[in-house]
Amino acid sequence: MGYISTGLLGLATAIPITLMSVSSCASYAQFVTLGSPMAPNFLAAANFFSAGFAALLTNRASHTPYMVSSADMTNMLFLRMHVHNIAAASLSDDELFPTLAVGLHVGSLVLAFLFWILGAARAAVALNYLPYSVTAGFLAMVGAAIVKGAWSLLKPLPGQSSISLVLGVFLACISFFLKRYGVPTNLSSVASIIISLTIFYTWVGTTGATLTELRDEGWLFPGHVEPLSAAGIFEWDWSHIR
C-alpha cells in the first residue's frame, strides 16, 4: 500500500507540474521567437528537453523527489534579445538559421556558466543587502515584459476576432482575483489550463473547424510548424555560421 500511495502522490504532483512546464516551455518559445524568422518549435523542443533533464539532475543531486526545474523569464529576455540581434543582421537564409541555432546554444551556455559561478560563490546572499526598491523594480520590469509579450501574442491581426484576447484577459483576471482570496496561483493556473483546453477542443470537435481555420482566426499561432527530425539539425550547412 505504501508504494501505491507514493505512486499516486507522485502522479498527482507530476500532472500539474507537467501542465505548467509544458505551457511555460511553449509560451517562452513563442515569446523569444516572436517577430523573428525562427520557428518556435526548435526552441520549444530544447525547452522541453532541458526542463526534463534539469529536473532529473536536480532531483538526484538534492535528494528531493519533487524539486521542480523551470525556465526563468529573465533568461528568456536575454535569449530574445540575442535572437533579434542576429535576425537584424544582414544574413542570407543559408547563414541565418544555423547562426540562430548556434547563437541560442551559446547564449544558453553563457547564462548557465554565469549562474553556476554565482551559485558557487553563494552570491545570492547579496540579495539580503539590496534595497527593496531595487528588487521590486526588477520584478516589476519582468512582470511588465511578460504582460507586453502576452499582449503581442494575443493581439488580433487585421480581420481576426478579438474573442481569444478577451478570453485570455478573462482567465488572467480570474487567477489574479483567486490569488487575492488565498487560492494558490499554481492551482488556479493548472485548473485554467485544463478547463480552457477541454472547452476549446470540445468546441473545435463540435464545429469541425480545421487547424488552418483556427490559425487564420487567431486561435492558434500562425504558421504550420513541422516537427524537426532528430538528425534534421545535422542537415544544415554549419560552414555558413556568421
Per-residue pLDDT of 49-73, as tens digits, reads: 777 777 777 777 777 666 666 667 7
Lowest mean pLDDT among 129-133, 136-140, 182-186, 232-236: 232-236
**What are residue 190's phi and psi, to 5 degrees?**
-65, -45
Q: pLDDT grade, residue 227 (50/70/90)?
A: low
pLDDT (0 to 100) of residue 182: 80
H or E, element range at 65: none
Whether the per-residue pLDDT at 44 is higher than 80: the answer is: no
Q: Check if the beta carbon of residue 192 is closer than 8 Å to that of residue 5.
A: no
Which one is predicted more confidently, 227 or 58?
58
Q: pLDDT grade, residue 230 (50/70/90)?
A: low
Lowest mean pLDDT among 64-73, 166-175, 177-186, 198-207: 64-73
Whether the per-residue pLDDT at 146 is higher than 80: the answer is: no
In the chain, what percentage of residues exceed pLDDT 90? 0
Q: pLDDT grade, residue 224 (50/70/90)?
A: low
Overall average pLDDT of the 31-53 stretch: 75
Whether the per-residue pLDDT at 34 is higher than 80: the answer is: no
Overall average pLDDT of the 132-153 stretch: 77
Rounded to whole angstroms, how far apart are CA atoms 85 and 103? 10
Overall average pLDDT of the 30-35 stretch: 76
Q: What is the pTM of this model?
A: 0.63
Rounded to whole angstroms, how far apart are CA atoms 14 and 193? 15
Overall average pLDDT of the 158-183 stretch: 79
Whether the per-residue pLDDT at 221 is higher than 60: the answer is: yes
pLDDT (0 to 100) of residue 33: 77
- A 10 A CB-CB count for 67 gives 14
C-alpha distances in angstroms, 169 versus 56, 73, 91, 187, 203? Answer: 34, 20, 38, 18, 20
